Amino acid sequence: MDPVEIARWQFGITTVYHFWMVPLTLGLGPLVAYFQTRWVRSGDTKWLKLTKFWGKLYLINFIMGVATGLVQEFQFGMAWSEYSRFVGDVFGAPLAMEGLLAFFFESTFLGVWIFGWDRLNKKVHLAALYLAVIGSIFSAYFIIVANSWMQHPVGVELVDGRPVMTDIWAVLFNNTALVAYPHVLTGSIAVGAMFLVGISWYQLWRRRKDGIDTVDAKGYVVVGENAAIPGRDKADHGVWIKALRVGAVVGIVAFAGVAVTGDLQGKLMYEQQPMKMAAAEAACHTGTDFSVLSVGALGTNDCDQVETLISVPGMLSFLAHSDFDTELPGVVDLVPQYQEAYGTNLPDDPMYGDRASAEINYVPLMEVTYWGFRIMIGFGGLAAFASAVALWLTRKGTVPSSKWLMRLAILGIFAPFVANSAGWVFTEMGRQPFVVAPNPTGVDGVFMFTAAAVSPGVSWGEMLFSLIALTLVYGALMVVEVKLIVKYVRGGVVSAMPELAHENDDDESDGGGVDHGGRKDDVLAFAY
């Protein structure tokens, strides 16, 4: 078995799983901060309920994201030691900034926010949440900086075969990072928005199903309540309809941001990694047409077996250069250029293992790049369309009673997750066979083949064992996260505010806490 392929599968599984936590944390945090801001400014308990319910899910996801993210650090040293040596001098700065500044900032103030309920002044408590959210936003930026250097190395010189950083500002403000970051951020906000839409739809549907809310002859909601079910009062309806409509509006705006930033990123990628974009379009031959549908034999990159069935004339040129006439080089024409610049065969060096002297295939797996690119765009658009439909269908104050629509709304939560994951897979696999892609206008020799990046002292058996072990652990963590989220979603607002079950005989305190017979609720109850 090939240790390189096993290591790539391991990295892909752990990274994609961790990446599911990242956009939800990035996207949900600002929305929770918005809800709490509205509560602090208005004193309306509806916003407090929104803050605590979505804040609870935000915390669950954040904690699972930290747990799964730690493995990434170990994985670099365990399976990718040669890669770590190559990029170490460059990655040290942004990763240190991420860990010592951004993540420390984020986790510290998140702790202040958790423990600060009922103990801090409202505005100070809100400021702690904002600082935690800002920390996560900066944390994401430093990670994108590191990844962007792998896509487009800058700010270095080659010393004894290794890149040594000479310009930290060039690394931090790499143009690849500057266009990739807003794309990732808007994609994450779309994830948070659809999370709100799907879950709020489910809660409103439950109120319809239980007969709490009905509609009048014109279809407008008649809000009811059921005193026998804790939290199912009239205010509960306001919580979910507000969350749903805020999520839908934010989802549409986020998709617009994704489209604009994606266009900028695509144009830059045509300059920096033309082979990746040619593969993403199954553009075997030089031209200007955009492929709407191409087919080919699975598992082969042979352009003779790729046939374009539907295409839009000039659109590929427009996407890359904003005109309809500029021809873009296809795979067949790019391969000789790559061979001339970077060689036809891997070096005869022990670091390449069994692949030493093997012929280099510069064409990434076209099925993955082609469909990854389209799934990213398609599912992102689907999320925006679902948001628009949700806004229209809830214009009279509630959701339809259809169970199938409720299920579609729940499934809609996964649309931006799929779009984000497909985009990440496309970005990472599209630069193969390089783990550090060459910069066409950068320092000569600053690139690294994936075949040279794995740890030479780790056997395929050890690599396979760690792959299976990590997959099982991550699978268990996924079960835990899904069960926790499902539990608290089904519980509704009361699951995050158990004091609501006693609100008839207790007075709500200034900060939302409740004194039951002289015993103050445990502040950690919010984080349990």
Q: Is the dihedral of CA 281, 285, 290, 291 positive or negative?
A: negative
The predicted structure's pLDDT at residue 519: 46
- Antiparallel, parallel or unpaired: β 156-159 and 448-449: unpaired
Q: How far apart (Å, rounded) are the C-alpha atoms in residues 47 and 44?
A: 6
Residue tagged 């804790």 (tokens): 230
What are the phi and psi torsion angles at 220 (to 5°)?
Answer: -80, 150
Q: How far apart (Å, rounded) are the C-alpha atoms in residues 37 and 308?
A: 52
Counted residue by residue, the chain has a size of 528
Q: Which long-range contacts (CB under 8 A, 24 or more apart) does 444-447 make?
A: 444/158, 445/158, 445/161, 446/153, 446/156, 446/158, 446/163, 447/153, 447/342
The predicted structure's pLDDT at residue 524: 60
CB 129 within 8 A of CB 109: yes
Residues of the chain short of pLDDT 50, as ranges, are: 506-519
CB 465 within 8 A of CB 179: no
The predicted structure's pLDDT at residue 99: 81
H-type alpha helices, 43-102? 45-79, 81-96
> b/e string for 249-286 if b means 16 or more Cβ within 10 A?
bbbbbbbebbeebbbebbebbbebbbbbbbbbbbbbee
Q: Which of 52, 145, 63 is nearest to 98 (CA)?
A: 145
Residue 304 half-sphere exposure toward CB, CA atoms < 13 A? 0
Cβ atoms within 10 A of the Cβ of 184, count? 26
DSSP 153: -
Q: How far apart (Å, rounded) are the C-alpha atoms in residues 508 and 499?
A: 8
Residue tagged 């069994």 (tokens): 354
Dihedral angle, C-alpha 170, 176, 182, 186, nearest 10 °: -150
| Predicted model pTM | 0.90
| Token pair for 51 | 């803050």
Residues of the chain by 3-state class (helix, strand, coil), percent to 5 = 70, 5, 25
| Token pair for 504 | 């008839």
341-394 pLDDT, tens digit per residue, is: 999 999 888 888 888 889 999 999 988 998 999 999 999 999 999 999 999 999
What are the phi and psi torsion angles at 291 (to 5°)?
Answer: -80, 120
Q: Which residues contact 438 (CB under 8 A, 6 or more apart)?
A: 153, 341, 342, 446, 447
Residue tagged 């939290």 (tokens): 231
CB 275 within 8 A of CB 269: no
| Token pair for 451 | 């075949």
Per-residue CA distances from 446 to 77, 109, 345 (Å):
21, 39, 17
Cβ atoms within 10 A of the Cβ of 16, count? 16
The predicted structure's pLDDT at residue 526: 64
The predicted structure's pLDDT at residue 298: 67
Region for 432 from its dihedrals, namely left if φ exceeds 0, alpha if ψ lies in -120 to 50, beta otherwise: beta
Q: Which of 188, 200, 270, 257 is nearest to 23 (CA)?
A: 188
CB 16 within 8 A of CB 425: yes
E strands, 216-313, where? 221-222, 290-295, 307-312
| Strand partners of residue 345 | 359
What are the phi and psi torsion angles at 281 (to 5°)?
Answer: -100, 0
| Token pair for 137 | 């936003």
At 349, which helix (H) or strand (E)? none
| Token pair for 315 | 């659109």
- Antiparallel, parallel or unpaired: β 156-159 and 519-520: unpaired
56-112 pLDDT, tens digit per residue, is: 999 999 988 887 887 777 788 888 999 999 999 998 888 888 887 788 888 899 999
Per-residue CA distances from 407 to 196, 262, 381 (Å):
14, 30, 19
- Antiparallel, parallel or unpaired: β 434-436 and 448-449: antiparallel
- Antiparallel, parallel or unpaired: β 307-312 and 290-295: antiparallel
Q: What angle do CA 200, 202, 203 make, to 5 degrees?
A: 65
The predicted structure's pLDDT at residue 511: 44
